[in-house]
Each structure stands twice: as C-alpha cells, then as structure tokens.
Amino acid sequence: MATSPPLLCLTITTLLVILNQCIAGVNTATTIPPKIGKGYRLISIEESPDGGLVGHLQVKQKNSIYGPDIPLLQLYVKHETEDRLRVHITDAEKQRWEVPYNLLPREQPPPLKQSIGRLRKNPVAQSEYSSSELIFSYKSDPFGFAVKRKSNGETLFDSSSDGSDPYGDLVFKDQYLEISTKLPKEASLYGLGENTQPHGIKLYPNDPYTLYTTDVSAINLNTDLYGSHPVYMDLRNVGGQASSHAVLLLNSNGMDVVYRGDSLTYKVIGGVFDFYFFAGPSPLAVVDQYTALIGRPAPMPYWALGKFPILTLPSIYLIVVLSFRSRIPVHLGFHQCRWGYHNLSVVEDVVENYKKAKIPLDVIWNDDDHMDFHKDFTLNPISYPREKLLAFLDKIHSQGMKYIVLIDPGISVNSTYGVYQRGIANDVFIKYEGKPYLAQVWPGAVNFPDYLNPKTVDWWVDEIKRFHELVPVNGLWIDMNEASNFCSGLCTIPKGKQCPTGTGPGWICCLDCKNITTSRWDDPPYKINASGLQVPIGFKTIATSAVHYNGVLEYDAHSLYGFSETIATHIALQGLEGKRPFILTRSTFVGSGHYAAHWTGDNKATWDDLKYSISTVLNFGIFGVPMVGSDICGFYPAPTEELCNRWIELGAFYPFSRDHANFYSPRQELYQWESVAESARNALGMRYKLLPYLYTLNYEAHMSGAPIARPLFFSFPNLIEVYGLSTQFLLGSSVMVSPVLEEGKSEVKVLFPPGTWYSLFDMTQAIVSKEAHYWTLDAPLHVINVHLYQNTILPMQQGGLVSKEARTTPFSLIVTFQAGAKEGEAKGNLYLDDDELPEMKLGNGYSSYVDFYSSVSDGTVKVWSDVEESKFALENGWTIERVTVLGLEGFGGKFALEVDGIPVVDTSKVEISATEQKFPQELEDGGDKKKSMMVDVTGLELPVGKKFKISWKMGSSG
C-alpha cells in the first residue's frame, strides 16, 4: 500500500517545527559539533570465565551536553569465533535496553558486577587479545580500542581520538552515545540502510545516514526509510590485493552515522554499544560470518522466495524462533499486484490477460481491496464474496498459481469487529498511560498490537489461523509496520463527526490530537535527522513514550516493530500447514531475512528510481535479506511505455520480481502495452529458464548467506574499477545483468571484468576482455544484456508460464570456458527439493544435490556429474537433454557416454553440432586469430539423479 502524500513531502506545520529547531541551534547530522567531554579511562580489566575480557571504564570529566554522563561502564570483549569479535559496552551498574535476546538469539554478556570496588586492578597484563584472524587492542587513558587483521596488521577499526580529528572520545549518556573510528582513504564502504542512495551503492562522504524505521517514501533520497540495518562492509585494496570486513552495531535506537570519508561517527540516542566485527576477508566470507550471527536467509518455495526487563515469550514463540527461524519463503516466479483491484472480477481478468499475452505469472496479489472497510482478516462481502473467491482460488491453485494478500498492524477500534474484541479481551495492544495507544491508519482509529507481548503473539497466531480458514491464502504481505500513523501525538476519537469522513484522501488525520512534548522520550536532547528533516521521532508513528510489554518503551523498541511482527506472522504461517511460509515485509531490522522477503517500498516511475533500485537491492543482499525487489514500472505515477519496457527487463532479474502500482495510477500490468508485453516475454522467459539456477542460489543463501543479487566486487574483489559500479550486478557468481537505465537509449555501456563473457540470449556472441574494459553493446527496446562468465556450468530448464509448469521440463547445461580454450575447468551445481517442506536441507529423502564438472585437457572435453541424495531427483524423473559447451578450440567427434559408470552403447539419438562464435572485437593471440566454437550436444536422456560422464575429442576447428 502507498505511503500517503503528506509523508512524501512534509507538511507546512512540520517545516515550521524544523525551522524552530534550527533557530534554537539544534545540531544536524552533517554539522560538526564541538567535542563532548574527555572520554573515559580504563580502571580495571580481567579475564572473564568464558574466555573473554571484562573491564571497567570511568568517566574522566563530566558534562551536561545531551544529559549527564554515565559514570562507570562495563567493557566486555570476546572472540566468539575465529573470525568474529564482539565488543560490548554498557552501564556498569544498571541494566540498559538492548535488542532482546529472544528476538535475535546470541550469547549473553557477563552479568554486571555488584561491587565495582572489589575488582582487581588490571590483572590482564597484555594490551592485545587475539584470535587466529583478529586482534583487539586498547589504550587506557583516554580509553580507546582498535581491531586489527592478524595476517597483515591492518587496522580495521580505531576508536581513539586526538586533537586533529573532527570527532572526540567515547561518550556514553542515557540518551546520547557517541563513538568514532578512523578510516583509510582507500576504504570503500557499503551498507548502513535502509535508504535510497543517489550516488550508488558505495557510501558517499557527508551524505546523511540515519537509521530509524520510518514510513517515508523511497523517492526521498538520503533519508531513513522503512528498515534499520546498522552494519557496513569495508572493502580495501592495498597493492592490488583486496580484503573486506564488516562492522555491526547491534542497537535498535535511532542513530545518525556521520561518514566523512576518513572517519565514521555513531551518534545514538539510547541502548548500548554492542559491536560485532567480521574478519572476511572476502565479501562472501563477510556475509557468511554476518549471517552466521544474525541467522541464515530463509529458504523459499520454488514459486516464490528503569531496568530493561528480560522478555519472556510463550513456548510456541521460543520453539519456532530456535527451531524454525530460518525456514521462510519467498517466490522465484513473477508476481502481479495493484492497490486498486476493486473487485474479484478485475483480479480474474488480470490472470486471464496474462495468460492470453503469454507472459509468465505465478502469484496474484491483493492490496487492501479485498478487505471490509480496510479491516484486517476480513473480506468485503460485495467486492470479494467468499464463495466466488474460493472458487477462483481453487482454479488458480489447480494451475500452480498462488494468492497473497496484505495486512496492516493497525487494528480498527470497532466494538463489532471480532479481531478487535479478542484483542481487547487478551490485552494485546501497546499502551499509553494505561490505555491502548490510539492512532489512525486506513480503517480510521486503530490500536497497535504489541508483538513483544507473548499474549499478543498467541492472539496474532489465532487471528491468522481464523483468516486462513476463511481464505486459504498462500502468504501474507505485512505493510505499514514501521509503524505508520496518519496522526502524531496523543489522540482521541472526535465526538459528533465521522472519522474518516469517507470522502477525500484516507491519509488525512481526523482524530483530535495534541503533541506530546513533556517527556524526554518524546523530545530527546539530541535530535537525529529523522525523515531527513529532523522531525520529532514520534512524528507520524507511535508516540515514543508509549509502553510495550514489561515496561519497554517505544523509544527503545521502535525500529524492532516490523521485525517482531514478522516473527509473529512467521510463527502463525508455519503452524498452519507445515509449509514454508511466505511473508513480504516493508519494515526490516537485523535478522529479518530469516523470516521474510522485502520490497523497496514506494518508488516513483522515473528513470532515476529505476537506477536507484539496483543499489537498494544489492544492499539488502549484504544485510542478509537476499529476496528483495523493487516495484516494477514504479509505484506511482503513470510510467511511460519506454520506462516500463526497461523496468521489466531489469525487474525480471530482481530476486523478488513484482509489478505493483498505486491506487491513483493508471493500470500498468505488463500486457497493457504490446511493446512491454514483448519485453516481458523475453526477460521473464529467461528468468523462468533460470529458475533452477535461482533456486540453487536460494539454497546457497540459506546455507552461507551468499546474496542472490551481488555487486561485481563479490566475484572480482581485486578489481578497483567495480567498487562503485551500481548500474550492473551479478546473479550468483557468474551471471551479469546490464540493463538500460536511460531514456531514449538503444545501446548500453557495460564494464566487463577480465575474461570471456557469453551472451545468455545468443550464446554465439561473446566478449573477451584482457583487463577491465567498457564495451558499448546494442540494446534495442526489447533487449537486456545478460552475460555468463567463463568456467561456469549453468543449469537451465525450458521455462513456462507458471513455475510449476517450468519445473517439469527437461534440463540443459551451459558449460563455459575461456574463448578458444585448449585447457580449462568449469563447474556448477544444482539443488532440488520439495519446495513446500519447512526446511531446505539434504538428507530428508525429499531433496537432491548435483555437482557438475567439465574439463578441457589434452585435446579431450569431459563433462560429468556427482550426485548427492539421488532418490528425490530420480522419483521426479528429471532428465538432462542438452549440453552446450562454449569456448572450445574445435570439435573432432569420438563421442562417449556413461551413466553410473556403465558405458552407453547406443548413442544414436545424440546429435552434435558446432558453431563458430562471434566477437565484437578481434580475438588475437600472438598476432594469429583463433577460433572459438559452441558445441551443442542434444538428444541426451541423462537422469539428473544419476552420475554421468560424457567426453569427446576436441579435434581441430578447421
């Protein structure tokens, strides 16, 4: 659903508030403030029972800027693994808010000391503490710490400060925490989201990076958006050799991160410093280590893809979090949605028109149009009568299609509404002064469920179960969960007038509201750059002095709201049919990728937004949320026909691929223009052929965190030229997507890293780069350039209009070598399973894994496989009918084939052909041109579940 226009450009009232703040001298994120205080000194340090270090820090000189200093801090340092270091700093005497350990399971730091005075002074003699990969070192006065790479002594993080630095020493107050690190000039940083970055994927010095979940449209640049991910990856290149690491500050409070190019400063309005350092050194290793902590990305179905109290959650919550926390779905096919499918017949027509246009479609979505007056878990009896909807679902389910609907967290305050009645009876809502906090969203006055409350989780699970019995949906789309509120402050339902009125925009606040400014939680001393304009942190959301379960303040838990709702929704869906849940969420936090997919929110139908989408998608891969995409053709307003052509060409290769439009925009389904339909058939046709590859990437993401869509530096980390490249990306390690991103262009400038790249749409065409080089390629309206790198084996199928259909077709293997290869090796893999089982793993009898290998040596070409868990593949009867080998010097015949070690004598059905490949530039070696051939082996009937080996003599190309 849309962000309301008042949130797209802030109101005059808000601007006046901002102006008054500026007049009062409030610091902004980009202003360099005076240094605060003299830091802390280390007064004791000793080994902890778990093998870490525990120290205590004492403030050196108190001041009252942003409030009083916390006088005594506890420092805890531990190498949790050989490549992960934790540095935790908190109040030594009082427990403070932290991200709940039952929402994001991890090791607990040691308890606070009851008597600081009895601590032994500095029993740890050395000032360095090391694992096999990282070294932690410190200086005592003023306290500062550094993290170094053991292999080369490179400093990864250094919090010490001197007079020449634009930042000061450690600051730790109740509502203001500050710490900084030096950075070398050659560092390239990525992450710190969610935001729309106009300069591309690399962090840009002096751009604002504010983390605080906010319902602000993605068209707003350099602004805190729907999610909070306080993690960055640092990629450095010294002497041509790259290394990368990552830094996570696990903190859910609002923060500004000031990046100056040679330093980075955190300014946080609460919580603790809980740093995790990940050693890498490759980008893939960094994400592997990061997701090992926060949890692996969820598996997806084939069709998709004072004291802080310790929270206690119901047993079902703990069981699911610990046992099922990585079992989530999403969808690899194509999705169609629109806010404004006013009745079921419109939805039926959309499905039928996709079929008529021969455009693949797996999932049809409803925004809130199916609801009865915008109320969750209801059906509009006129527009979406249950009997007709069930008949429609029976029909599309029989064809392999799926149906997903939206729900918002705001529950309509309505005494006749069963969901609300049961919520009140179970006391599930966030409170303000002992009463459910009142807000306004689409149905009018609402209360917000408190997902930190165990009773709320149980109630939410029950409501989803009730709704699923009403409508057997295949997944849920949870929106507006930052949480979004059309009003601000403390509100009451007006007497004597209807709210909402039923006419005009539904996002205009119609409650009677007053500002809440008396609390330091609603008006903290330091103002983060909220919404890019320093609006009050309670603006258009839940008042930050509202209270959750066990006294937890919204001030602390705000950015966890969507995350906690996602977990509760996952628990509910997991319990329905024992299948992989599908959840799409707008608001995300560290760990959301375990449970849900994400889309980039309300974008605009512009060429700039088309380009920006790539950086956001790539960032979420780094964040451990690999199933991500942007609204294809733009959410609003109307896209041009040319833009929609180019957007579906790109969007077909998003991990999550969905067309979605605004209520007020004209229809933009892909069949609305014949030219767009043609582009969709081409691009989505290729996506559906690549489903085996994409699903295998989903498995790899689940096992190691590896992003599905990746920046080029993941495969070419030593190549400085790709560090800021934000107009191309990789799917996996080897498939490069290079879209047209500018209006009126019929060609595209593409950077090719060294090696041979083969066009996936025409494998006779190849590009050879001896070094990183830009080539200008033809890209007429219906063409997107997609290339496959050398030394790869790519599994494909024949495609179809639904993934269920595509999945039954025979396989082909594309094997690539360096052009004109006489010697070489290639490899690939394939994962297959029953994609609706909760877990994605081998050994359960419902999955198979195949490694593919190929070599060129001594004039012989070999292609073979090694199968693990063959049973599932054999039972499904999958076969490989074609093997295409690219880049050979020639072909000479003498073909041989064996299956499971037994020679196949009759190969009469096998046909072999060779085609000379073409290059836009001459391929030279020692001044002599050489040929490169594409060899096609067809007529094969190789069972995927059996080991095979084929070989032939390469011979001469003539």
CB 281 within 8 A of CB 237: no
CB 386 within 8 A of CB 376: no
Mode of pairing for the β-strands spanning 597-599 and 583-585: parallel
Helices 561-577 & 315-324, crossing angle to 10 degrees?
Answer: 90
201 burial (CB, 10 Å; 0-12 / 13-18 / 19+) is buried
CA dist., res. 308 & res. 96, Å (int): 5
CA dist., res. 592 & res. 626, Å (int): 10
Place of tokens 């869509």: 709
Token pair listed for 66: 């942003």
DSSP 523-539: S-SS---GGGTT--TTT
CA dist., res. 610 & res. 604, Å (int): 8
Distances, alpha carbon 26 to alpha carbons 20, 21, 516, in Å:
9, 6, 19
Distances, alpha carbon 173 to alpha carbons 158, 168, 170, 318, in Å:
21, 14, 10, 33
Token pair listed for 125: 């003699």
**Residue positions annotated with a catalytic role:** 479, 482, 602
DSSP 14-56: HHHHHHHHHHTTPPPTTS-PPP-S--EEEEEEEE-TTSSEEEE
Nearest to 619 by CA among 193, 206, 235: 193
Enclosing H/E stretch for 676: helix 674-689
447: left (phi over 0), alpha (psi -120 to 50) or beta: beta
Nearest to 751 by CA among 783, 781, 711, 792: 711
Residues contacting residue 868 through CB under 8 Å, at least 6 positions apart: 842, 848, 849, 850, 851
Give the burial string for 552-584 (b: 16+ CB within 10 Å, else e). bbbbbbbbbbbbbbbbbbbbbbbbeeebbbbbb
CA dist., res. 24 & res. 27, Å (int): 9
Amino acid at site 547: V
Token pair listed for 351: 């499905």
CA angle 915, 728, 702 (to 5 degrees): 95
